[in-house]
Chain A
């Protein structure tokens, strides 16, 4: 049977529609949500007028309100168009939602879902294209996932709404137009498990979000005789160290990819944990990440900020002492969001 192929943004919308239909305590709120929220909520206001709310530009209050509604048993989904906007709600996210169940000794669920768009977008620069993954990964009490494909996006969003805890979905907006197979029916994906996407025996490569999609492309650039085990990290809070350790024990090598700053990155956290107990490790782990400066706006500069598929491929090749690639990528591939179809 032919597989149904849809876009990442469409997978969000489809999951949201099915959630709003099947769970009357669920609702979606955020600035501009009735107008479509970057293609992730188009037309939903007409279908569910009481379950889709536009909001004032008051991130702190609207997020706090969603947390309050969640402690009363509703299932709010909050959409923040940029991670920078969500920081205005830092108290509600990091200090209220994340601590509520613990500080009251349990039995106080906070089933709120925060959908937060992160990362690269052409010409958006230092204050509109941060990812801040490690910030969300560091705060205890949250569950934080980064869907790398349309399939994962739909399954993780449905799991997030069913979960009793605050779940942050960091959505790389770079992936909104990427296509892939998505089943029509409702299904869930585990919120706390990394997935081994491709088995291999020579090196473990861990990636997530847009870096995962770039890594898939990078694997096509390296010779067949390097056998890569590719792990989609999925969750950065908590991190599934078990799956990573098991893989590293087999391959003996580890390379982590982050599409954001190297300092305090998810990759450096994973490398540190593996180094504490380096069972089977035969070579120093490698991090491929962005330089430790803010994201510049000019394409002449941002071209050298984001790690590309060539940088990732070269990271792997270097581990095996192979000659490096010298490929100049076209402007479109460097600076415009991909529309590729994932296998």
Chain B
């Protein structure tokens, strides 16, 4: 979790220096969700994400160096510079792809899980998407399909209270209940405190086991806070009511873990050393990316079709 935080904080600097030429949605604040969920999965389980997937990818065991090469549009990036921040992919760690069209990941992941059922595999598929995406029509259709075909799909809703800057209460009818909606489709539902690693990972493990055993879909809704703006690193405050700066600081999952570690006997200096080492490694990867070659212009024409 700290690695995700340190890595993205350095990406913020790259962004501010205008070296990062890709639309970026920072994950800062939501780390407990990605790490809590991915820790509950097996390496051979598949994961798909959305526009805000740096954290999902890294938590699944992704390679930060290749990720940052992609963010900087380099030839050795995850998608050879053609995708950018919103298109994470790395099949070597079973991260099957992220796509920024809201809700699109849910039918796609249903299909990936359908293959696992079709070929009688013991693996499951996890899809990360947000509270905004969960309002798309295709997502409701996909709940029905996933339940109808009984596919091993774990749905993770990261409810950070905002669709861009629009509040839940302005988007949902009074009495709206995601639990009631998905339960109506026969999908097992749990809610977790998305700012608490232990709560997320315990419930994610329960549901991952359930999906693997029962071969049918389940959903974990994680209530969490997005520390930055929708797609810039600004710490914008004007539209926030619940997740004020004070509340975000108080509920920060990483700060809470630090308190626990210190209480358990870990020394402050050990934590500082750990953070310094992570930062060193992140900076080395960023330097590597900055020195990596851009793709040649001929690459415009490659890869439209698979050979």
Q: Which residues of A contact B (CB under 8 A)?
A: 27, 50, 53, 55-56, 58, 60-74, 76, 91-92, 95-96, 100-110, 140-141, 143, 164-165
The docked-state distance in angstroms from the alpha carbon of A211 to that of B115 is 39
Q: Are A56 and B141 within 8 A (Cβ)?
A: yes
Find the residue from A60, A96, A105, A140 having the highest chain B CB count within 10 A: A105
Nearest-Cβ distance from residue A64 to partner chain B, whole angstroms: 3
Interface residues on B, range: 35 or more
The docked-state distance in angstroms from the alpha carbon of A53 to that of B96 is 25
Which residue in A56, A64, A107, A141 is a CB contact (below 8 Å) of B144?
A: A56
Q: Are A105 and B79 within 8 A (Cβ)?
A: yes
- Pull 15 A–B residue pairs with CB atoms less than 8 Å apart, ordered by A: A61-B106, A61-B110, A61-B142, A61-B144, A62-B141, A63-B107, A65-B142, A67-B108, A68-B110, A68-B115, A92-B107, A92-B108, A96-B108, A104-B79, A110-B306
Given contacts A68-B109, A71-B96, could you give 13 more A-B pairs where the C-beta distance is less than 8 Å? Answer: A56-B144, A58-B141, A58-B145, A61-B142, A64-B106, A67-B111, A68-B110, A68-B115, A72-B96, A76-B111, A101-B306, A105-B80, A140-B304
Nearest-Cβ distance from residue B120 to partner chain A, whole angstroms: 11
From known contacts A60-B138, A61-B138, infer whether A105 and B303 are also in contact, taking CB-CB under 8 Å: yes
- Whether, in the assembled complex, B97 has its beta carbon less than 8 Å from a beta carbon of chain A, the answer is yes
Q: Are A71 and B305 within 8 A (Cβ)?
A: no
Q: Are A96 and B101 within 8 A (Cβ)?
A: yes
- Whether, in the assembled complex, B261 has its beta carbon less than 8 Å from a beta carbon of chain A, the answer is no
Q: Are A104 and B87 within 8 A (Cβ)?
A: yes
| Residues on A with beta carbons closer than 8 Å to the beta carbon of B101 | 91, 95-96
| Residues on B with beta carbons closer than 8 Å to the beta carbon of A109 | 306
| Residues on B with beta carbons closer than 8 Å to the beta carbon of A55 | 145
Nearest-Cβ distance from residue B123 to partner chain A, whole angstroms: 11
The docked-state distance in angstroms from the alpha carbon of A163 to that of B150 is 28
- Whether, in the assembled complex, B67 has its beta carbon less than 8 Å from a beta carbon of chain A, the answer is no
Nearest-Cβ distance from residue B74 to partner chain A, whole angstroms: 11
Q: Are B304 and A103 within 8 A (Cβ)?
A: no
| Residues on A with beta carbons closer than 8 Å to the beta carbon of B109 | 68
Chain A, residue nearest B48 (CB): A68
The docked-state distance in angstroms from the alpha carbon of A168 to that of B306 is 15
Q: Are A104 and B82 within 8 A (Cβ)?
A: yes
Q: Are B302 and A106 within 8 A (Cβ)?
A: yes
| Residues on A with beta carbons closer than 8 Å to the beta carbon of B111 | 64-72, 76
The docked-state distance in angstroms from the alpha carbon of A74 to that of B137 is 25
The docked-state distance in angstroms from the alpha carbon of A143 to that of B110 is 24
| Residues on B with beta carbons closer than 8 Å to the beta carbon of A105 | 77-83, 303
- Whether, in the assembled complex, B22 has its beta carbon less than 8 Å from a beta carbon of chain A, the answer is no
Chain A, residue nearest B70 (CB): A105
The docked-state distance in angstroms from the alpha carbon of A15 to that of B113 is 27
The docked-state distance in angstroms from the alpha carbon of A101 to that of B113 is 20
The docked-state distance in angstroms from the alpha carbon of A69 to that of B149 is 13
Nearest-Cβ distance from residue A154 to partner chain B, whole angstroms: 23
| Residues on A with beta carbons closer than 8 Å to the beta carbon of B138 | 58, 60-61, 64, 91
| Residues on B with beta carbons closer than 8 Å to the beta carbon of A72 | 96, 111-112, 114-116
| Residues on A with beta carbons closer than 8 Å to the beta carbon of B82 | 102-105
Q: Are A65 and B110 within 8 A (Cβ)?
A: yes
Q: Are A60 and B107 within 8 A (Cβ)?
A: yes
The docked-state distance in angstroms from the alpha carbon of A102 to that of B81 is 10
Q: Are B304 and A64 within 8 A (Cβ)?
A: no
From known contacts A68-B111, A68-B114, infer whether A92 and B104 are also in contact, taking CB-CB under 8 Å: yes
| Residues on B with beta carbons closer than 8 Å to the beta carbon of A63 | 107
- Whether, in the assembled complex, B181 has its beta carbon less than 8 Å from a beta carbon of chain A, the answer is no
Nearest-Cβ distance from residue B179 to partner chain A, whole angstroms: 21
Q: Are B141 and A96 within 8 A (Cβ)?
A: no
- Whether, in the assembled complex, B89 has its beta carbon less than 8 Å from a beta carbon of chain A, the answer is yes
Nearest-Cβ distance from residue B175 to partner chain A, whole angstroms: 25
Nearest-Cβ distance from residue A143 to partner chain B, whole angstroms: 7
| Residues on A with beta carbons closer than 8 Å to the beta carbon of B305 | 101, 141, 143, 164-165
Q: Using an 8 Å CB-CB cutoff, how does the interface string of B69-97 with A read, 1 for contact, 0 for none? A: 00000000111111100010100000011
- Whether, in the assembled complex, B224 has its beta carbon less than 8 Å from a beta carbon of chain A, the answer is no
Q: Are A100 and B144 within 8 A (Cβ)?
A: no
| Residues on A with beta carbons closer than 8 Å to the beta carbon of B99 | 96
- Whether, in the assembled complex, B307 has its beta carbon less than 8 Å from a beta carbon of chain A, the answer is yes
The docked-state distance in angstroms from the alpha carbon of A65 to that of B110 is 6
The docked-state distance in angstroms from the alpha carbon of A59 to that of B149 is 15
The docked-state distance in angstroms from the alpha carbon of A106 to that of B145 is 29
Q: Are A68 and B79 within 8 A (Cβ)?
A: no
Nearest-Cβ distance from residue A145 to partner chain B, whole angstroms: 14
For chain B residues 260-307, which have a beta carbon within 8 Å of chain A? 302-307
Which residue in A70, A104, A141 is a CB contact (below 8 Å) of B97?
A: A104
Which residue in B97, B145, B148, B149 is a CB contact (below 8 Å) of A71?
A: B97
Chain B, residue nearest A192 (CB): B305
Nearest-Cβ distance from residue A240 to partner chain B, whole angstroms: 15
| Residues on B with beta carbons closer than 8 Å to the beta carbon of A62 | 107, 141, 145
Chain A, residue nearest B89 (CB): A104
Chain B, residue nearest A68 (CB): B111
The docked-state distance in angstroms from the alpha carbon of A103 to that of B81 is 9
